[in-house]
């Protein structure tokens, strides 16, 4: 039996507020196997983005554990966790978050530069990735010169730069029109077909339906 | 695409703000440079001025500095012989400085007169014509201003008149002398009309010949290392006179102009504070605007160290460009300010307040770069501590 890529156990996340503690996650457990395409679906505010941040090591849970490739994230130092995000995980955000001062190619190269990949190698890989997402001719363009769909494609190429074991996407089509959103989902489908493991957060049930498995959430808990 | 490159591009992204910041830093840097030039420049210029002709020691009346007062030393020949007898003295000469008059067709003009020994003098350089001979009692040397005032050219005869007799309210009889050359008197103020004759002639004109009086003795030691020894022996031998080496004179001078140094320290410090505040404010604003970007790059695995380096690189780039511009601006303003300050009456024309020195430039540049790094520390800390998850959540809503 193939060992799981990610195991989240009894994850809880509380936010202390003036009016009382908000329980964003109430004991969520999740297992992701290599090669899976999982959608986490649910209405706004149900805790799906919080779950994504916890399993991505961006935020720390109030309780429970996350184990990625056999490594407990809560036992890592900040430096080790940063390194793990750089080399083992890829992130795609709703608002793309490309660096505006860099070209598309340079944005894709950024994580590789941080990982000390030699310049020639990262340029070659950046060009390959831009070609993979259909932007071979747009490498020299700045984000302001790209459409929303193109920016998200560059963001996906950036997320794939260091060959991550798991790609996490938070509402990747939230800022796009329906047609462009479908193109992005097609790209995710292709990524998964090529062996990639994906977890996509979305509030759109139709988009979630394209994933191999859908995890429904409501009020901070998995409701399947 | 590393930290400095990213920092520079981020600065270029906000062109107007960056340009205004650089201008602000440049002004502060110019002020700092000017203050650094001022703090050490006066002393350096003074030392160069005193050493202009290579005489390292001055002997003056007790409690005075050269040409500080009208006090004089009697028995000059005897004192000079004693000085020259020191084995470590290469040469020595006597100078008398005195006010006197020049006669023009219908009146008298005020001049300053030097009585000198042409074979051992430390107060002038011949710029046209020729020097006086040691016994040339009929010749006179003129500053360009004196030549203009007396309407005299080389070879012309001029009439010099000694002090006015306060009893008779009339001048002493004049003495006709031939202009041998034009000279630059080292200690003259800009535009000062000065003339020079051999010492006995000037002593007669000044009424100081009777007891052979002079204002100052200039002494050149055989080597720089022997100066302190010669000065000590002269102090012992001439207890009623003031003996100062160039180093001693610089100390005296420093005491008199201590307020210039204090002023330069205060203004220099203020300029540094302004630079720190300016760079820090700009970077803090920039970090605040880019929190989303910072949270994103941290989320995708860029380390805190890289983020800190980028902010510090931005601060350094701002400071570097501002400092470079400030150096040019500082040198230009130093020349302008120097022209204003050296036009004060009574200051030697060769004297400078702002003396460009490689050491001063390097010091100012190093201090500014360190300032840029310090100024970037707080915004860099803010960037490093940016809450990644919370920022991404707020960016998504």
Q: What would the mean pLDDT of A188-193 be, rounded to a whole number? A: 92
- Is B13's CB within 8 Å of A100's CB? yes
- Residue B330 in any domain: the answer is yes
- Cite the beta strand spans of chain B per DSSP E: 57-61, 89-104, 107-116, 124-129, 139-142, 157-161, 164-165, 170-171, 175-185, 194-198, 216-221, 241-245
Q: What would the mean pLDDT of B319-344 be, rounded to a whole number? A: 87
Nearest to B292 among A53, A97, A170 (CB): A97
Q: What is the pLDDT of residue B253?
A: 77
**Residues B194 and B168 both lie in one domain:** yes
Alpha-carbon dihedral A5, A84, A176, A144, rounded to 10 degrees: -160
**Residues B204 and B76 both lie in one domain:** yes
Q: What is the pLDDT of residue A14?
A: 93
Question: Between chain A and chain B, how many beta carbons pairs sit less than 8 Å apart?
Answer: 80
Non-local CB neighbours of B251 within 8 Å, separated by 6+ positions: none
Q: What is the pLDDT of residue A224?
A: 67
**Residues B127 and B225 both lie in one domain:** yes
Report whether pLDDT(B170) > 70.
Answer: no
For chain A, give the number of residues. Answer: 224
* A55 in contact with B, Cβ within 8 Å: no
Q: Last residue of some domain: B213, B239, B265?
A: B239
CB contacts, 8 Å: A79 with chain B = 303
**Residues B24 and B98 both lie in one domain:** no
Lowest mean pLDDT: which of B22-31, B107-116, B249-258?
A: B249-258
- Residue B249 in any domain: the answer is no
CA distance A45 to chain B (A): 11
* A158 in contact with B, Cβ within 8 Å: yes
CB contacts, 8 Å: B392 with chain A = 53, 58, 93
Kindly report the number of other CB atoms within 10 A of residue B167's CB atom.
Answer: 6
The residue of chain A nearest to residue B11, with distances taken between CA atoms, is: A101
**Residues B39 and B67 both lie in one domain:** no
Report whether pLDDT(B1) > 60.
Answer: no
Torsion over CA: B251, B252, B258, B261 (sign): negative
- Is B9's CB within 8 Å of A101's CB? yes
Report whether pLDDT(B311) > 70.
Answer: yes
What total of structural domains would you count in chain B?
A: 2
- Cite the beta strand spans of B130-174 per DSSP E: 139-142, 157-161, 164-165, 170-171
Report whether pLDDT(B164) > 70.
Answer: no
List the structure tokens of B51.
């050493």
**Residues B353 and B226 both lie in one domain:** no
Using pLDDT thresholds of 50, 70 and 90, give the confidence band for residue A59.
Answer: very high
Report whether pLDDT(B163) > 60.
Answer: yes
Of B161 and B41, the one with more pLDDT: B161
CB contacts, 8 Å: B296 with chain A = 93, 97, 99
- Residue B56 in any domain: the answer is no
Q: What is the pLDDT of residue B158?
A: 94
**Residues B130 and B17 both lie in one domain:** no
Q: State the best of A101, A104, A115 to mutate against chain B, taking most chain B CBs within 10 Å.
A: A101
- Is B389's CB within 8 Å of A91's CB? no
Query: pLDDT tens for residues B89-119?
Result: 999 999 998 889 998 888 889 999 999 998 8
**Residues B36 and B114 both lie in one domain:** no
**Residues B94 and B10 both lie in one domain:** no
Lowest mean pLDDT: which of A113-117, B84-88, B335-339, B345-349?
A: B345-349
Q: Which of B146, B68, B139 is nearest to B111 (CA)?
A: B146
CA distance A79 to chain B (A): 7
Alpha-carbon dihedral B60, B65, B66, B69, rounded to 10 degrees: -90
**Residues B75 and B192 both lie in one domain:** yes
Query: pLDDT tens for residues B33-66?
Result: 888 888 777 777 777 777 767 788 989 888 776 6
- Residue B90 in any domain: the answer is yes
Q: What is the pLDDT of residue A120?
A: 95
Q: Last residue of some domain: B207, B239, B271?
A: B239
Report whether pLDDT(A178) > 90.
Answer: no
Q: What would the mean pLDDT of B160-176 be, rounded to a whole number? A: 71
Query: pLDDT tens for residues A159-169?
Result: 999 999 999 99
Q: What is the pLDDT of residue B191?
A: 84
CB contacts, 8 Å: B388 with chain A = 58-59
- Is A110's CB within 8 Å of B396's CB? no
- Residue B251 in any domain: the answer is no
Query: pLDDT tens for residues A16-41?
Result: 888 888 899 999 999 999 999 999 99
Q: State the best of A15, A52, A54, A58 to mutate against chain B, taking most chain B CBs within 10 Å.
A: A58
Q: What is the pLDDT of residue B149?
A: 93
Give contacts of A 109-138 with B, CB under 8 A. 109-111, 113-115
* A33 in contact with B, Cβ within 8 Å: no
Q: What is the pLDDT of residue B385?
A: 87
Using pLDDT thresholds of 50, 70 and 90, give the confidence band for residue B159.
Answer: very high
Q: How far is CA B130 from the centre of its chain?
A: 30
Of A181 and A158, the one with more pLDDT: A158
Q: What is the pLDDT of residue B171?
A: 56
**Residues B381 and B275 both lie in one domain:** yes
- Is A56's CB within 8 Å of B392's CB? no
Query: pLDDT tens for residues B296-310?
Result: 999 999 999 999 988
**Edge to edge, what strands does the sheet with A20-32 contain?**
A20-32, A6-17, A63-68, A71-72
Q: What is the pLDDT of residue B2?
A: 66
Using pLDDT thresholds of 50, 70 and 90, give the confidence band for residue B342.
Answer: confident
- Alpha-carbon distance A156 to B238, whole Å? 91
Percent of chain B with pLDDT over 90: 28
Q: What is the pLDDT of residue A167?
A: 95
The residue of chain A nearest to residue B306, with distances taken between CA atoms, is: A114
Report whether pLDDT(A103) > 80.
Answer: yes
Interface of B with A (CB under 8 A): 1-2, 6, 9-10, 12-13, 292-293, 296-304, 306, 388-389, 392-393, 395-396
Q: What is the pLDDT of residue A62?
A: 94
CA distance A83 to chain B (A): 6
Nearest to A101 among B6, B393, B395 (CB): B6
* A79 in contact with B, Cβ within 8 Å: yes
Lowest mean pLDDT: which of A79-93, B131-145, B258-272, B319-333?
A: B258-272
CB contacts, 8 Å: B302 with chain A = 82, 86, 110-111, 114
- Residue B246 in any domain: the answer is no
- Residue B250 in any domain: the answer is no
- Is B303's CB within 8 Å of A115's CB? no
Using pLDDT thresholds of 50, 70 and 90, give the confidence band for residue B154.
Answer: very high
* A94 in contact with B, Cβ within 8 Å: yes
**Residues B324 and B264 both lie in one domain:** yes
Owning domain of residue B218: 63-239
* A96 in contact with B, Cβ within 8 Å: no
pTM of this structure:
0.70
- Is A59's CB within 8 Å of B388's CB? yes
- Residue B79 in any domain: the answer is yes
Q: What would the mean pLDDT of B176-184 be, rounded to a whole number? A: 94
Q: State the best of B8, B11, B300, B305 to mutate against chain A, taking most chain A CBs within 10 Å.
A: B300
Mean pLDDT of chain B: 85
Question: Which residues lie across from B125 on neighbouring strands?
Answer: B184
Q: Last residue of some domain: B180, B211, B239?
A: B239
Using pLDDT thresholds of 50, 70 and 90, give the confidence band for residue B384.
Answer: confident
């Amino acid at each position: 039996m193939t060992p799981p890529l990610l195991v989240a156990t009894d994850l809880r996340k509380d936010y202390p507020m003036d009016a009382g503690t908000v329980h964003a996650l109430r004991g969520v457990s999740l297992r992701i196997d290599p090669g899976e395409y999982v959608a986490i679906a649910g209405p706004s505010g149900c805790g799906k983005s919080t779950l994504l941040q916890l399993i991505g090591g961006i935020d720390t849970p109030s309780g429970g554990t996350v184990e990625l490739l056999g490594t407990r994230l809560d036992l890592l130092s900040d430096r080790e966790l940063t390194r793990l995000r750089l080399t083992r995980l890829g992130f795609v955000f709703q608002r793309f978050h490309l660096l505006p001062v860099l070209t598309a190619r340079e944005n894709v190269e950024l994580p590789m530069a941080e990982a000390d990949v030699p310049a020639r190698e990262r340029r070659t890989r950046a060009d390959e990735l831009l070609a993979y997402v259909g932007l071979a001719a747009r490498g020299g363009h700045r984000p302001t010169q790209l459409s929303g769909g193109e920016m998200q494609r560059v963001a996906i190429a950036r997320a794939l730069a260091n060959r991550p074991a798991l790609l996490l996407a938070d509402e990747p089509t939230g800022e796009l029109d329906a047609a462009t959103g479908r193109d992005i989902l097609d790209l995710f489908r292709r990524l998964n077909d090529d062996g990639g493991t994906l977890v996509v957060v979305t509030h759109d049930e139709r988009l979630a339906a394209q994933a191999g498995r859908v995890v429904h959430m409501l009020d901070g808990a998995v409701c399947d | 695409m590393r930290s400095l490159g990213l920092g520079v591009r981020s600065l270029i992204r906000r062109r107007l703000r960056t340009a205004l910041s650089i201008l602000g830093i440049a002004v502060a840097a110019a002020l700092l440079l000017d203050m650094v030039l001022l703090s050490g420049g006066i002393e350096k210029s003074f030392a160069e001025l005193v050493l202009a002709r290579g005489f390292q020691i001055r002997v003056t009346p007790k409690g005075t500095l050269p040409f500080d007062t009208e006090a004089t030393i009697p028995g000059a020949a005897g004192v000079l012989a004693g000085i020259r007898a020191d084995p470590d003295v290469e040469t020595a000469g006597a100078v008398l400085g005195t006010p006197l008059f020049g006669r023009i067709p219908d009146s008298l003009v005020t001049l300053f007169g030097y009585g000198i020994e042409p074979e051992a003098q430390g107060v002038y350089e011949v710029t046209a014509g020729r020097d006086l001979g040691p016994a040339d009692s009929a010749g006179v040397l003129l500053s360009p201003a004196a030549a203009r005032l007396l309407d005299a050219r080389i070879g012309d005869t001029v009439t010099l008149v000694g002090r006015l007799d306060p009893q008779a309210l009339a001048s002493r009889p004049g003495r006709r002398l031939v202009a041998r050359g034009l000279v630059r008197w080292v200690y003259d103020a800009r535009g000062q009309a000065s003339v020079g004759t051999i010492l006995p002639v000037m002593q007669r004109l000044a009424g100081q010949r009777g007891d052979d009086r002079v204002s100052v003795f200039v002494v050149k030691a055989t080597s720089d290392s022997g100066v302190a020894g010669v000065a000590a022996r002269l102090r012992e031998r001439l207890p009623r006179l003031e003996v100062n080496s160039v180093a001693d004179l610089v100390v005296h001078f420093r005491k008199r102009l201590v307020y210039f140094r204090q002023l330069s320290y205060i203004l220099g410090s203020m300029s540094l504070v302004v630079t720190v505040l300016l760079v820090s404010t700009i970077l803090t604003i920039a970090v605040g605007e880019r929190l989303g970007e910072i949270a994103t790059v941290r989320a995708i695995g860029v380390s805190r160290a890289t983020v800190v380096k980028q902010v510090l690189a931005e601060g350094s780039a701002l400071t570097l460009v501002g400092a470079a511009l400030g150096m040019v601006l500082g040198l230009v303003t130093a020349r302008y300010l120097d022209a204003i300050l050296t036009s004060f009456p009574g200051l030697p024309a060769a004297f400078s307040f702002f003396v460009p020195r490689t050491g001063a430039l390097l010091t100012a540049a190093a201090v500014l770069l360190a300032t840029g790094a310090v100024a970037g520390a707080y915004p860099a800390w803010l960037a490093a501590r940016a809450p990644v998850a919370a920022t991404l959540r707020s960016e998504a809503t």
